[in-house]
Structure 1
Amino acid sequence: MKHIVFYDDNPDFGGHQFMAMRGVAAANRCPDFRTTFVLNPNNDRLKAHTDAIIQEGGKLEVRYSPVVTKKFQALRNHVSGKALDDLARAFNELQADLIVCLQGEIEDSSLALLAGKKAGCRVMSYIPVAHTMEQMGAKLGALRDRTTGYLFRTPDCWMTISQCIADMLRRRGADAPIHIVENGIDTTRFVPRDAATLRQEQGLPDGLLFGICGRVEFNQKQQHFLVNAMSRWPDELARAKLLVVGDGPDCARLKQIIAELGLTERIILRAWEKQPETLYPALDCLIIPSRFEGFPLVMLEAAACGVPVIGSDNDGMHDFLPEPWRFPQGDEAGLINALKAAINNPAALVNQQRQVVLENHTLQQFEDRFVETLVRELP
């Protein structure tokens, strides 16, 4: 029986971890694997997911990492000799056949890449984002990028979520095999529903209604760009309303911008919804104006509900969305053109996008491909 150790010492929880944990659950159900998860003891949301997996099957062993990812981790790795030794010793004791490091970006859990190699184990990186720190707007991003090059040469193999990200990994120096396992969703949960009924149930207005769903964080998600652009929309869109769903560090600033622009009557703010399937079908279009993404789950979920999705022409959105529904990141004119294209497109194109999800992006397909990739890379 092969022993797979999943590792994530990040203190935060994001979309890539939500998706990866479905892969961990699938691996845990595989009779040919023994599975262990090493995690940050302070990451309660991640711990809740490991607890749920144990309740499903009971086989997953959970351990706590002796180290935690911090800012400038790529640089810290060079002066973390004791922590590196402690982690390598822990991996030796586990006798792992494959260590899978869950990395939101290249610095996350990066000490484990080095420790796994030092322990003589085969190491895989599961990574949804390969953008530079400078591209992501990180503090001192250009400087931090100069410290990360060696990490792209460390793993024995990679698992990522789109061709765009795979190409980005190659440009950044990754020369080991790269496997693409695109995200999947529960297509029995995300289905078309009657918009009028949902709007009545959710207290949403009649008329043209657009939406944006995700963490309220301007640097990546660009809610402020969308709101500013909305204040200048032309006559045919001027009566449209916007539903903003999410929580995050820029909520207060977003409310301030909305008030300053006089848009309080046209923008509806909602906290993150645990049942987004009750909101997507109420929309005329979902908008993803992000500066960078991996392969957004909200994009697949809305498309499965039969809702047009427009987004910045980058990353997984470039791979998935038809050209008329994409616009250059930060381009207001392009955004308006994409909106018009989405709301005026024939139902056939909307149905076509939904069919792509049903045929290629189910949760079962993701889990199967995740496990198949693990098998392929086991020694």
Structure 2
Amino acid sequence: MGRVQETGSLIPSLDGSNLSYEFEKDRVANPKEQDISVVIKRVNLNKKIPENLEYLDDFYDKVTGTSGTAFRDKNTGKIIVSYTGTNLDGNAGEDIYADASGIFLGTGFHYPPAFKFYEKLAEKYGAENLIPTGHSLGGNVAMRVALRYNSKMAIVYNSAPLYMKGIQIKISPIVSQNINQINEDIANYTGRIVRIVAKNDPLTNISENSNGVFVGDKFTLPILSEHGLDPIVENDEQVANILRIINTEEQLVSTIEMVSSRMQSLKKKKRSFANSNSISLEGVTSSQLIYLDAMQAKILSEGLINVSTSSLELIEHSGEGTQYKAQSLYDSLTNSNLGLSLSPDELLSAFAEAGVHYDSIVGEISRRCSDKEKEVRNIVDAFNRLKTNLDTGIQALIEKDKELENMFTLEG
């Protein structure tokens, strides 16, 4: 038995996306089953529900074939809303129709049941706690749900596109309305969508080459796992890669929330200063004004450091994936399946004469990635220097002003 059957990956979105298939298959096979403990027992026989996930709810819509399962991440309290992909072992007919009509033709007819499930969970657990996720067709649904409700974060795996650009939206008013609404929601979206794909995922490669519309930050895993999730779950290196990506993305989200929260607290403090003073500049004393300005600069500088550091980590990971692709492309130059009676060395020599060689592919890509990482690293260093200078300046002011010293002491 492997990790899929024994423990899962312990990455909530990855395991949730994988488990949603099992819940859907059981709902299709046993439509009258009311005892969820029996359903969970059958699911666990095929794929283990990890110890860090608690089942909350699931749904299956027979008309559209759309389904999903909700879990609570026991470590964070977040609600993982996992939408199911094309399930050839469950409701293949409905899912294939959803792929063809809902995505390729752009009708989006399969979305309403997913919206209804999300709204139900948002009302019960709070929209701010929900993380849509999904694989394949389920990734398409998760992206659409995130855009519709402006979810703080969504994570999708080997996702189908939202729709195919170039499909005539004049096919019907339904198609036009769906695509226009998607584009409007994309323009207004303020959250983060993480799109994780395997290097040789056929759905991703075909969709991207056929004008498929995706959203979010794409991260390519250097693994030849085709389209499924099980090979990824079983691969220690890729599980670690995904965990690093998600943790960094979550750090970006939490930093933005932290800065916003601390700035709101600072505004409240300014009002409290004004209410306690009778006559003063802008309602606050000069020391209080210095304190407010210094704290605002401190909050923003710390936020900028966190954001730039997280961005550097994501760029480094993207660079690793890009360099892996470049190396794979170079290795493919010696592919003897080109119908040519040339040896690998002869092939490389022929390409070199045309200016295509190791340095023009792998070397050039590596240098470009290195330059970009260096650029971002310089930004991180600049923000760290800024914070150091701010801290030094604040300390110098504190030493001259007892009132200011007391305020920073209370701040902790």
**Bigger radius of gyration among the two:** 2
User: Which is helix-richer, 1 or 2?
Assistant: 2
Q: What's the TM-score, normalizing by structure 2?
A: 0.29
User: Which is strand-richer, 1 or 2?
Assistant: 1
Q: What's the TM-score, normalizing by structure 1?
A: 0.30
**Structure showing greater relative contact order (alpha-carbon pairs closer than 8 Å, 6 or more residues apart):** 1
